[in-house]
A and B are shown apart, each in its own frame.
Chain A
Amino acid sequence: MYVIGNRGWGLGIGVLLLLGSEAQAQGVLRGTVRDTQGVPVRGASVVVPGTTLSARTGLDGRYRVANVPAGLVRVHAAAIGYARVDTTVAIPLGDSTTVEFTLSFAPLSLPPVDVISGKVPHFGDRPATSVTQVTERDLDRRAVSTVDEAIDHAPGVQFVNGQVNLRGSTGYVQGLNSRVLMTVDGVPMNQGDRGGINWDLLAVDDIESVEILKGAGSSLYGSAAFGGVVNLTTRDVPSGVHARVRLTGGMYADPPHAIWRFRDRAGLHGSADFSASYGNEVLGGRISAGDRHSEGYREQDQQDHLHFAGKGRWQLAPNTRVDLSGSWAVDRYDVPLSWCSRGECDDRGQVFQPFKVDTTELGARTDSRKGYLAAQVRQTVSPKLVWVARGSWLRTHFVDVRRSTTEFGVGNRFGAEARVEAHPEPSRTVVVGAEATFADVDSDIFGTHSQSEFAAYGQSDQRVGPLRVSGGARLDFMAVDGGSLTAFVSPRVGLTLPTDRREGDGGLLRASVGRGFRSPTMAERFVRTVALGFQIVPNPTLRPETAWSFEIGHISAPLLRFMRLDAALFWTEARDLIEPQVLLIPPDTVVIQLQNVVRARIAGVDASVIAAPIPERLIATLGYTFLATRRSLAGDSTHGPLAFRPRHLLTLGADYRLGVFGVGADVRFASRPERIELEGFVDERRVPVRVLDLRGSWRHGPVEIRVLAANVLNYIYNLVPETLAPVRTITVTGVWSH
């Protein structure tokens, strides 16, 4: 595996030295991708296999691929929900060729994998690890209002009070870490200080699709990708003038029991988003702004959110593109830290009041500001070589206002990366790159600290007959506060094997094994605050978490012509997991400290089924994840399950479309977690999750109206101790697109 990675470096540098020799014998491929009704298909991939050349269609379905080698060239076009089309085109020397693609609707076709594998060399095939995609169409039909809602229903994904779990990776530690990396257009966006994810960094209306890479991704993405990667792809800037307005309004259900009532009328929420863009073949820009207000579904749960985002593209040369993007979001939200237990409020004779808060926390709120700037240059040097360079800056700022104290934190994360993608031979691809990250924090609870990370990575894919073998590794060096460097090696190997001859749409076996790690965040090392009435003390000696992950999976060919199954067995052996521990300091002081105390195993099955019994009208999906977790403490022979991991996670969905109308439903079930953290110190009450969402839509020309009734049965549940999950929420959304 290391040999493959090292060869990749050599090959990449070698190919780099051959720049330009092929630049003369090239042409341009352009055209439009439409469906069988003649409607432009947005976001379709047009790929020249065996090369670095590819393009995505814009809003008008148009694409343009430069630097295509002259002569006969094989080209394919693919889009989610459509059958892939392959063709061979004659490209004249120094001229452009127009190729029009017509894609037929095929809901069972495998979606093209591009963005999440932007770092992963591929041949247009599925990668060796599990990938789930949430498309723009999914976002639209589900009528969600926030990015985390958009991801929450994907198979194997569960949000636990804002923290994302891919196959049970993260668990839950309030705001102090994430074992999942979020990237925006490939740029890492986990907070510099706490390592967490700001899901409100971007409005859902700015998102075109989401790709979720499950399993350890450290071999390419480094520390935070211990449990996987979630990539948000923002909307591209199409040619011409475009605008979009999105308005939402809705209400929260009252508590289902009169004794839980806490206000005289239903809580309301609403938002307004606007975006506009202009682009031509050389330049393009998009701006968006939005505001959201919610009265919340609980006492002291008001939220205000304001955001701005922008994106620009500049086709500097036919083969060179510059992208700039950024966002700024301001939030102010009340903090219902925990629900009211008996005696902590006017409990009306109840053991607990889930809609009310402890009166000692009345007035608690958080003011939060966060934003990022990112720039990327991508140059297609030749059909065999692309280089990419990017820089980014993420800034987060929060002030927690509590009755007893006020806490603040300012974190920065600066990142830079350079990468070379090469196709030295049609049957081989190579990616090599280097990445540097500097993060700092200034906070009264985390102190003033910094963390530097430097990494080099390489990965190569090789076709051997029907097999595709990939191997690579990443070497990370880290230093805290300018101290000594600590090194980590994260290797990974994988292979895929087609199980029938239908290229691109047939069955596929996949297997992979890789090592992941996660460096403790500065917040985990240095936090000093009070929570649950206990002092939390720092632990600067925390060690990184490490894990080996194994996976074997299979995507079936279409079964009975109307369904497809994707299933994977996964197994992760982790060491030094970081969990909060309660310590007794004699004679009678109890404190909480984050410690490396756990060896853990997360194993299970992740399966999804998509069925289209009535093509173009009825689509049904099923996702099921079985988790078997085990945790053992250092020096203790007893075992138990990991906290906040439900053993069963089930999602069901169905959508029916008839003309301009559509209806759909989602069901989400999660079994009751067997264990929570800090047992004995918090209310351990918890129940399974059983939530039903219903939705409907009407579309006419540029206008679309959607109605979403989330948690329509008003099922009352909690995912973490003493924190009520959302009640029934009705949302009406109107979208106008030009």
Chain B
Amino acid sequence: MLWLCLAVVAGCSGDLEPEPICAPTLVGVCGTLRFRGAIPDSTDNVFIAAYATFPQTCNDLINNRQPFIPSSVPYTDSVAPYSVELSPGTYEWVVAVWKKVGNLTLSPADTALLRVAGYYRAFIDTMSPGQVTVPTGAYAGDIDFFVDFDNLRPATDFVTCT
């Protein structure tokens, strides 16, 4: 009986379970990141941010991000699912941001620590950012794109910083 009790206790949890890319209750965007390139030694983390309108300046880049505190995405595997809670609406830029080791100040100066590692692209034009619409009370799924550690681009490639 002792063995049986131990077994039942031990066997109740911890096994593999379904892992939806997009949780049914999610309101936001979700998908898969595929990583390529060598991970820089100075990597602190990788996170996903979204912009309702494409940012024009460094200030836009810092101040208009959603969510307010983006959560990290595991980047050591070749593939990682992600999901980000966002308010319903249309987003012009869903971007993976690479951050090097250092403290953020939530000011334009943060762009020195940040690089654009990849972004969701429109299906018909693989160079342009793809527009994503988060429906009310639901999620936009299959927002998949690449993160290229060998091609981390500074913010100034996309916005103007003064």
Contacts and interface: CB of A to CB of B under 8 A. Distances in A.
Interface of A: 257, 259-260, 341-343, 349-352, 354, 620, 652-654, 665, 667, 669, 679-681, 683-685, 687-688, 690-692, 713, 715-718, 724
Contact of A351 (B12, B14, B19, B76): B19
Given A351-B81, A687-B14, A717-B16, 14 more contacts: A350-B18, A350-B20, A350-B21, A352-B19, A652-B7, A654-B3, A667-B3, A667-B11, A680-B77, A684-B77, A688-B14, A692-B4, A692-B10, A716-B15
Interface in B1-37: 3-4, 6-8, 10-12, 14-22, 32
A717 B8 CA distance: 16
Nearest to A584: B38
B37 to A, nearest CB: 11
7 contacts: A349-B20, A351-B19, A351-B20, A620-B3, A667-B3, A690-B15, A713-B7
Contact of A690 (B10, B17, B18, B20): B10
Contacts of B17: 257, 716
A604 B154 CA distance: 50
B101 interface: no
B3 A652 contact: yes
A200 to B, nearest CB: 27
A681 B4 CA distance: 39
Contacts of B14: 687-688, 690
Contacts of B3: 620, 652-654, 665, 667
Contacts of A652: 3, 6-7
B81 A687 contact: no
A89 B7 CA distance: 51
Contacts of A354: 16
A669 B10 contact: yes
Q: Which label, helix, strand, loop or mixed, suits the secondary structure of the B interface? A: loop
Nearest to A711: B11
A358 B21 CA distance: 18
B50 to A, nearest CB: 20
Contact of A667 (B10, B15, B21): B10
B139 to A, nearest CB: 10
A690 B12 CA distance: 9
Contacts of A680: 76-78
A652 B2 CA distance: 10
Interface residues of B, number: 24
B18 to A, nearest CB: 5
A713 B15 CA distance: 11
Interface in B126-162: 141
Interface in B58-106: 76-79, 81
Nearest to A257: B18
A716 to B, nearest CB: 4
A664 to B, nearest CB: 10
B18 A715 contact: no
A252 B131 CA distance: 46
A654 B76 CA distance: 43
B13 to A, nearest CB: 9
A209 to B, nearest CB: 24
Contacts of A724: 16
B18 A691 contact: no
Given A354-B16, A653-B3, A717-B16, A342 B21 contact: yes
A692 B21 CA distance: 31
Nearest to A692: B7
B11 A713 contact: yes
B141 to A, nearest CB: 7
A691 B81 contact: no
A325 B20 CA distance: 54
Contact of A717 (B12, B15, B19, B141): B15
Contacts of B21: 342, 349-351
B11 A690 contact: yes
State the 8 A-B residue pairs at the shortest beta-carbon distance, nearest first: A692-B7, A667-B7, A713-B11, A351-B19, A716-B15, A716-B16, A690-B11, A351-B81
Given A350-B21, A717-B16, A667 B32 contact: no
Contact of A718 (B12, B16, B76, B141): B16
Nearest to B19: A351
Contacts of A685: 16
A671 to B, nearest CB: 11
A291 to B, nearest CB: 33
A344 to B, nearest CB: 11
Contact of B16 (A343, A667, A687, A692): A687
A259 B18 contact: yes
A493 B20 CA distance: 57
A343 B79 CA distance: 11
B11 A665 contact: no
B15 A342 contact: no
Contact of A692 (B8, B77, B78, B79): B8
Nearest to B144: A343
Contacts of B4: 665, 692
Contacts of A259: 18
A715 B17 CA distance: 10
B136 to A, nearest CB: 20
Contacts of A715: 11, 15
Nearest to B13: A690
A695 to B, nearest CB: 12
Contacts of A665: 3-4, 7
A692 B11 CA distance: 7
A498 to B, nearest CB: 32
A186 B118 CA distance: 60
Nearest to B80: A351
A256 to B, nearest CB: 8
Contacts of A350: 18-21
A189 to B, nearest CB: 34
A84 to B, nearest CB: 29
A713 B4 CA distance: 12
Q: Determine which residue in A342, A653, A681, A717 has the highest number of CB atoms from chain B within 10 A of its CB, and name it.
A: A342
Given A688-B14, A718-B16, A681 B78 contact: yes
Contacts of B32: 342-343, 351
A128 B21 CA distance: 55
B4 to A, nearest CB: 6
A260 B17 CA distance: 10
Contact of B18 (A260, A713, A717, A718): A260
Nearest to B31: A342
B22 A349 contact: yes
Contacts of A351: 19-21, 32, 81
